[in-house]
Amino acid sequence: MDSKVIDFVLQVTNQGLLVTVVVCGPPILMSMVVGLMISLFQAVTQIQEQTLTFVPKLIIVLGTIMVGGLWMMAQLVKFTQSLFALMPKMGAG
């Protein structure tokens, strides 16, 4: 394969992975923070209920998506538009 093609594929893959991390990062980080706080609460109170963490994490993730959803969608649309703009270059050899 041509090195230009390999560089192009690596660049698109790199951008795709970066967009994935940026878009998925906030809900995952918020879920981790809430999980840590609930774990500390469980350790202090010695309540060892496994299902206690599920509902707060679900609420926080949904809330994070509701608050940042427009921004997340804008990031995905911007990435998709850049891919569509690069399509003519994909066929040119």
Q: Which SS3 state, helix, strand or coil, does residue 49 take? A: coil
CB 8 within 8 A of CB 65: no
Q: pTM (2 decimals)?
A: 0.78
CB 81 within 8 A of CB 59: no
Query: Which stretch of DSSP H or E encloses residue 30?
Result: helix 3-45
**CA pair distance 25, 29, nearest whole angstrom:** 6
State the pLDDT confidence band at 4, using cuts at 50, 70 and 90. confident
State the pLDDT confidence band at 32, using cuts at 50, 70 and 90. very high
- Residue spans of the domains in the chain: they are 15-77
Give the model confidence (pLDDT) of 44-87 as tens digits. Answer: 998 888 788 899 999 999 999 999 999 999 999 999 999 999 88
